[in-house]
Amino acid sequence: MHRFKWLFLHIGLCVCVTHVFAQNKDLDTLMHIPEITIVGHNNEVVEIGSKVEQIDTLTKAMYDQQMLSDLLSAQSSVFIKNYTIGNLATPSFRGFNMNQTAILWNGLSITSPLYGGFDLSLLPNALVDDVSLQYGGATSLWGSGAIGGTIHLSNRLNFDKGGHMKASIQHGSFGSNTQGFEVLASGKHAVSQTKFFNRNNRNNFKFYNTAQKGKPLDTMEHASVDNIGLVQNISFKIKQHHILNACVWLQSNDREVPASLTSKLSEATQRDDIKRFTFSWNYEKNKNAFTLRTAYFDERLIYKDPALSLNDTSKALTTIVQAEYLKKFTECVKLFLGANYTFQKGKADNFTFDPIQENKALFGTFKLKNKKSSIISALSVRKAFVSNNENPFTASFGLELWPLHTVRLRGNVSKNYRLPTFNDLYWKQGGNPNLKPESGISEEVGLGYYKYGKVLSVQTEVVALTNQVDNWILWVPDASGIWKPMNAQYVWSRGVEFDFKTLLVHNKWKYQLGYHVQNIQTTIEKVTSADPSTLHKQMIYTPVNKMFASLGITYNYSTVQLVYNYVGERFMNMDNSLSADPYSTMDIKFNQIIYTKRFDLNAYFLINNITNVSYEIISYYPVPMSSYQMGLNITFKIKNN
């Protein structure tokens, strides 16, 4: 009978087609995947009461030769609005869009001050060490824009870990070739890490042209992408308690910008040049830790369209100075204080002058827990002083309760804001310098069950959430037909999320099963115009339903993983009269790891969209049907003497 039970279980697992949802490090640890830590500045407090999803190292390694948009669209519950592969890809957390998402690198915002977003298709996974996602509002922690969610990227260095040299290659469909290397040298007093990434992708895939009569099979044109990037990260332990760190991120991206299938063939190209520099000094002794960070980001975008004789350059320069102090009164009582000064300058052909913004902020968090860690709470506040706008005050409170050893009840409430972007304020035709910041309240509660055993481990949680944003900035035409941004709407996002993850261990076999489903409505609840046709309607291109599931089976160090993604109907216009069909895709991934004393070898083969589904994420922007990537990572180990 026991044998039949296992057989039934195997069949059930395969039918369910589920996903390894790498949300909790405990299960990954059971899988013998190296332990992960979130690296940001005040991580001690960030998670309290909030949902945090971390991409595990094995999954990330399989996507290292791809971009962040590829990783998150396949392996997270975030909806990625992707205008075909290699081109503009923006995140949608819980029904909000890129403007309501903060993206942080080592705890500092790298969101563009020009348009208030970030293109995830420009970020090679190989250039960062960790990726984690924080859901819900958190502007009291991270500043403007963290309303729907926050993407944390980090590069971390550890002293006295020896070193390695890692080389990576990947080849895939549509002329996609990637090369990368990484050199890490970690001594007692100094550590250096170099990462290099180069990718060329022709993107000349086949698709069914839905804009043509008879939907003929067509070939994608003018969609090639080239990315090259380098990160150099170095730390010195100058004294016992003093650490200096410097990090440089240089990247250049060239891409052809394809048009909608309903438009003429595009001739437009875009070049993005990125330079990011950070420098920090950290002092930590006894129960006190002090960190001073500085950053300088220089991002330039050159957009050319020969058909329109366009050659536009826009620049965004950001300088950040941030001081942080952490006081551990006891293991149960901690105080975190900080001050931030951010200077941003924009330059674009569509501005009549070079706008600047000075943003000063004071912030702090008080964290309290009992000795059993069964009650944990954190209160955070932030007061910003903005040179060309209002001075928002925000706060959040998070609470975790463990009434039983296996049951967690958590909740978080936060007041949030988003400052208008330079484009909103100063665009030559229509910019509105009188815009107010968006402001809102985010609330969520979660009830989870966590049970870890030698044979079966289970982790599951149901979350209920609500997130309201007033003064939502929307570009609308005025009586002269000129589009202008206005504080036009009141938007309400609410719904439920359900996650679970199980791990079954049977001799050398391991079965991971993961599942996520969400039903989140994000609707317009107040409009300024007399026309009520958009009232109570779903925001455009934000699916109410999203689900993914996966099944991973490992024997020793060989893994096969099936991933299933479902994205529900998306509306194309604000009154929801036009919609794009739901779609679902299934990917399969094979991974083989060989560990030796001198080197580790990781070979993988991914087949995306194995059922060869023809679909569009954004209407009339095609994405590939079946495609593959195969890659090899080899890491030569250097032992520390």
Partner 1 sequence: MKITKFKIATLLHVIVLITTCGCTKKEEEVNNLPGEYANGVFVINEGTFGSGSGSISFLDVVSDTIYNDVFQKKNGFPLGSIVQSINIIGNNGYIVVNNANKIEVVDIKNFSSIGTISGLANPRYIKSVNASKAYVTQWGSDGMTGAVKVIDLNTNTITSTISVGSGAESMLLVGNSMYVACSGGYSSDSSVYVINTTTDVVSDVLEVGANPNDLVSLDNQSIFVMCSGRWKFDYSELEAYGSLVKINASDNTFTKLFELSDLYAQPGSLTGNNGYLYFNFNGDVYKQSAASTTLDNTKIIHRDFYGLGIDPVSNKIYGADAGNFSQAGKVLRYDLSGTVIDSFTVAVSPNGFYFNTK
- Contact residues toward partner 1 (CB under 8 A) are 5, 8-9, 12-13, 15-16, 18, 210-215, 259-264, 307-309, 352, 428-430, 453, 455-456, 458, 460, 474, 476-477, 479-482, 498, 500, 502, 504, 513, 515, 517, 529, 531, 533-534, 540, 545, 547, 549, 566, 568-569, 572-575, 577-579, 581-582, 619-620
Strands (E) in 217-373, as ranges, are 217-219, 225-239, 242-256, 269-285, 288-305, 310-328, 333-348, 356-369
Nearer to partner 1 by Cβ, of 197 and 207: the residue is 207
**Cα dihedral 33→38→39→40 (10° resolution):** 170
In the complex with partner 1, the residue whose CB is nearer, 243 or 567, is: 567
Of 262 and 313, the one with the shorter C-beta distance to partner 1 is 262
Min separation Cβ 322 and partner 1, Å: 36
In the block, tokens 């330059």 appear at 347
Q: Quote the least distance from Cβ 440 to partner 1, whole Å.
A: 21
**CB 137 within 8 Å of CB 147:** yes
Whether 399 and 413 have beta carbons less than 8 Å apart is answered as no
Three-state SS at 557: coil
Three-class SS state of 632: strand
Nearest distance from residue 575's CB to partner 1, in Å?
4
Are the C-beta atoms of residues 546 and 521 closer than 8 Å to each other? Answer: no
Nearer to partner 1, 434 or 529 (CB): 529
Give the nearer residue to partner 1 in terms of CB position, either 308 or 404.
Answer: 308
CB of 490 to partner 1, least distance (A): 15
- Minimum Å gap between C-beta 315 and partner 1 is 19
CB of 451 to partner 1, least distance (A): 8
Please say which residue, 37 or 521, places its beta carbon nearer to partner 1.
Answer: 521
Shortest distance, CB of residue 128 to partner 1, whole angstroms? Answer: 32
Smallest gap from Cβ 288 to partner 1, in A, equals: 46
Q: State the burial class of residue 507 (Cβ atoms within 10 Å of its Cβ: 0-12, 13-18, 19+).
A: exposed
Alpha-carbon gap, residue 297 to 311, rounded angstroms:
23
- The CA–CA distances, whole Å, from 408 to 54, 403, 525 equal 18, 7, 33
Q: Which is nearer to partner 1, 404 or 482 (CB)?
A: 482
**Kind of pairing, strands 149-154 and 101-105?**
parallel
Nearest to 564 by CA among 17, 55, 7, 3: 17
Nearer to partner 1, 238 or 482 (CB): 482
Name the E strands within 44-175: 52-54, 79-82, 89-92, 101-105, 108-109, 130-135, 149-154, 162-172
**Considering beta carbons, is residue 85 or 247 the nearer one to partner 1?**
85
Q: Least Å distance between CB 263 and partner 1?
A: 4
User: Tokens representing 316?
Assistant: 């965004």
Distance CA 327, CA 348 (A): 43
> Closer to partner 1 at the Cβ: 231 or 348?
348
Question: What's the number of CA atoms in the CB half-sphere (13 Å) around residue 394?
Answer: 33
* Angle 209-211-217 from CA coordinates, rounded to 5°: 15
Report the nearest approach of partner 1 to the CB of residue 105 (Å). 31
